[in-house]
Amino acid sequence: METFDEIEQQVRSIIAEELQIDEQNIHKSSTIEDLGGDSLKALMIISALEARFDINISDEDAVKIKSFPSIIEVVRRLTGK
Amino acid sequence: MKKRVVITGVGVLSSIGIGKKAYWESLANGKSGIKRISLFDASNLRSQIAGEITDFIASDYIDVKEAREMDRACHFSIAAAEMAVKDANIILNEDAGVVVGTGLGGITTDDAQHKIFHTKGPRFVHPLAVPMAMYNASASHISMRYGLMGPGFTIATACTSGTHAIGEAYRLIKDGYTDVVLSGGTDATISEGIFSGWCALRVLSKRNDMPETSCRPFSKDRDGMVLGEGAGFVVLEELNNALRRSVPIYAEVIGYGTSYDASHITAPNAKGQAKAMGIALKNAGIHLDEVNYINSHGTGTALNDKVETETIKTVFGEKAYSIAVSSIKAMIGHTLGAAGAIGLVTCCLAMQDNIVPPTINYTEPDPECDLDYVPNNARKVELNVVMSNSFGFGGNNGVLILKRFDKEG
């Protein structure tokens, strides 16, 4: 059974909302593509992350956002959490 | 019997010049019209630059009272249409048609009125918000201005709107529905709401500190497109109509192709683009060898320029390497629904002088973009047949082919 900390759980719910999928399908190793998303869906996730965490995700970071772990890395670095 | 269709007048409005003379002089000299945005405060946005037109005065073309009841895109189209009519030295009769392309219609009005609705309330929304914002406002105002009662409509296929408009206008004449059509494209989308959308889509260049060298189509260091604004118009005429009037002819429209990618809402697709190009070439009935110049879509995004290059190579094979290909977007930005129309006006002016405009800001070759992009300097090329491409969001493709006019065909 995977466990998710607070940040991870929030990110999970954002991905679930943007991709309109069940949160249970999002694992720590999931990629956006695995979950049925594409580059435009990634942009929607990025916009939602910026709004939820009040952060600015640069284009350099934005292109890295392809999977659950890459999102967590960017969010932790930008929020300092 | 199909009719032959020629172009007898052109009009253009852009960030590097208003009117064909000023526009062509700037274009042939590789002048950039990209600057920091002044139409609204863009200081908080990722991209803060655009090909904004700063020297246009609507009242030079339209009665002040009427102008107040039109969107900026409508001002542009009326001005460019007026220039084309004067250039063709034609008195339009009521059988003439009007076909206009626009990507986002009256979006400036739309944005402004939404803001008023949300900040002040519904009572303060402009009573003419609807007729100002509607996509077909430009074509309707032009029809009223000249009393045009012939065939016409408005086409909204994003960045391909202008090319589709002129292509469909060409078909109206070719198929005998009317002898004259005033046709073009217009867009004025440097408006804060929708511009923020472009920023969020992350396709705009961020070279905010170097606006003039920001847009770098086909160059390896390209970092995105730059939005522009403007309008382009042409007078399309059935050949005998033009011959009767004994007016100069810029070129004959000989081919038009349109297709869908049917693959992605924003990403381009070489197969879909090649289909439009193939249809246009077949329609034109020419050999691949005859094409001397391609006015490319060339937006300056990583993907567009790579895919367009692939398309040209797919269609032309080895011959692709000997065709001059350039992008005017390096200089005026992406004028969306006006782009294809301004592109076609550019082709007319290029044929007149046998000069191909350059792709400026070309600094570094990209192995994935390996054609002859006429880097940085205009070039003298004997032009007989030219092609103009538009590949829009939504997977809408449009290609037009012009030939130097020869009475024998």
pLDDT digits (tens, 9 = 90+) for B29-50: 999 999 999 999 999 999 999 9
Assess contact for B125 and B117: CB atoms under 8 A: yes
Cβ pair B266:A40 closer than 8 A? yes
- CATH (domain of B101): 3.40.47.10
Counting one residue from A and one from B, how many pairs have CB atoms under 8 Å apart? 12
Please indicate, yes or no, whether residues B25 and B95 belong to a single structural domain of this protein.
yes
Q: Distance (Å) from the C-alpha of residue B270 to the closest C-alpha of chain A?
A: 18
Query: Is residue A81 predicted with pLDDT exceeding 90?
Result: no
Instruction: Establish whether B118 is a catalytic residue.
Output: no
- Is the same domain home to B52 and B182? yes
Are B373 and B291 in a shared domain?
yes
Establish whether B297 is a catalytic residue. Answer: yes
Q: B307: distance to nearest CA of chain A, Å?
A: 17
Strands B291-295, B251-260: pairing is: unpaired
Q: DSSP state, B128? A: T
Residue ending a domain, choose from B226, B245, B264:
B245
Q: Does A64 touch chain B (CB under 8 A)?
A: no
Residue B141 a catalytic site member: no
- Domain boundaries, position B386: 251-403
Nearest CA in chain A to B224: A59
Determine the pLDDT at residue B295.
Answer: 98
Q: What span, in angstroms and rounded, lies between the C-alpha atoms of A31 and A70?
A: 9
- Within an 8 Å CB–CB cutoff, is residue B265 touching chain A? yes
Q: Is B267 on the interface with A (CB under 8 A)?
A: yes
pLDDT at A1: 79
CA count, 13 A, side-chain hemisphere, B270: 13
Instruction: Note whether B201 contacts A: Cβ–Cβ < 8 A.
Output: yes
Q: B150-168, pLDDT tens digit by residue?
A: 999 999 999 999 999 999 9
Query: Are the Cβ atoms of B266 and A43 closer than 8 angstroms?
Result: no
Q: Do B53 and B159 lie in a common domain?
A: yes
Domain total in chain B: 2
Which of B386, B390, B334, B395 is CA-nearest to residue B166?
B390
CATH dotted code for A6-79: 1.10.1200.10
A24–chain B nearest CA distance, Å? 28
Kindly state whether residue B399 falls inside one of the protein's structural domains: yes
Contact A40 B265 (CB under 8 A): yes
Residue A43 touches chain B, beta carbons under 8 Å? yes
Query: By the CB < 8 Å criterion, does A47 face chain B?
Result: yes
pLDDT at B1 over 80: no
Same domain membership, residue B327 and residue B204 = no
Number of alpha carbons in the 13 Å side-chain half-sphere of residue B218: 25
> What pLDDT, on the 0 to 100 scale, is given for residue A48?
95
Query: Does B140 have pLDDT greater than 90?
Result: yes
**What is the value of ipTM here, to two decimals?**
0.81
Dihedrals phi, psi of B308, to nearest 5 degrees: -65, -40
- For B201, the closest chain A residue by CA position comes to A43
Chain position carrying tokens 């929708």: B194
Put simply, the answer to whether A40 touches B206 (Cβ < 8 Å) is no
Q: What is the pLDDT of residues B232-289, one digit of tens each?
A: 999 999 999 999 999 999 999 999 999 999 999 999 999 999 999 999 999 999 999 9
Q: Does B201 contact A43 at a Cβ distance shorter than 8 Å?
A: yes
Is B195 found in the same domain as B339?
Answer: no
**Claim to verify: residue B217 and residue B261 sit in the same structural domain:** no
pLDDT(B149) > 90: yes
Same domain, B159 and B209: yes
* Best residue in A40, A60, A65 for a mutation probing chain B (most B CBs within 10 Å): A40
Q: Are residues B224 and B128 in the same domain?
A: yes
Round the CA-based radius of gyration of chain B to a whole number and report it.
20
**Which among B227, B224, B271, B272 has a CA at the least distance from the CA of B395?**
B272
Would the pLDDT of A4 be above 80?
A: yes
Last residue of a domain, one of B212, B245, B278: B245
Answer whether residue B316 is part of any domain.
yes
Pairing of strands B97-101, B396-403: unpaired
Residues of A in contact with B202 (CB under 8 A): 43, 59, 62
Residue B408 lies in a domain: no
Interface of B with A in 11-70 (CB under 8 A): 46
Taking an 8 Å cut-off on Cβ atoms, the answer to whether B206 and A59 are in contact is: yes
Structural contact between residues B397 and B273, judged by C-beta atoms closer than 8 angstroms: yes
Span B121-125, mean pLDDT? 94
Which residue on chain B is closest to A58 by alpha carbon?
A: B46
Asked if B267 and A59 come within 8 Å (Cβ–Cβ), the reply is: no
pLDDT on residue B220: 98
The shortest CB-CB distance from B200 to any of A38, A39, A47 is to: A47
The pLDDT value recorded for residue B409 is 79
Task: State the CB neighbour count (10 A cutoff) for residue B345.
Answer: 36
**Residues B263 and B367 both lie in one domain:** yes
Question: Across residues B118-146, what is the average pLDDT?
Answer: 96
**Dist. CA B237–CA B244, nearest whole Å:** 11
Residue B115: other Cβ atoms inside 10 A? 13
In Å, what is the CA distance from B48 to each residue of B39, B227, B286, B382? 11, 10, 44, 39
Residue B378 shares a structural domain with residue B263:
yes
Chain-wide mean pLDDT for chain B? 97
Q: What is the mean pLDDT of residues A43-50?
A: 94
Q: Are B347 and B404 in contact (CB under 8 A)?
A: no
Interchain proximity B202–A43, CB inside 8 Å: yes
pLDDT over threshold 80, residue B200 = yes
Decide if B212 is inside a domain: yes
B224, B245, B266 — which closes off a domain?
A: B245
Q: How far apart are CA A36 and CA A42, in angstroms?
A: 11
Whether residues B280 and B382 fall in one domain: yes
Pick among B202, B206, B303 to test the A interface (most A CBs inside 10 A)? B202
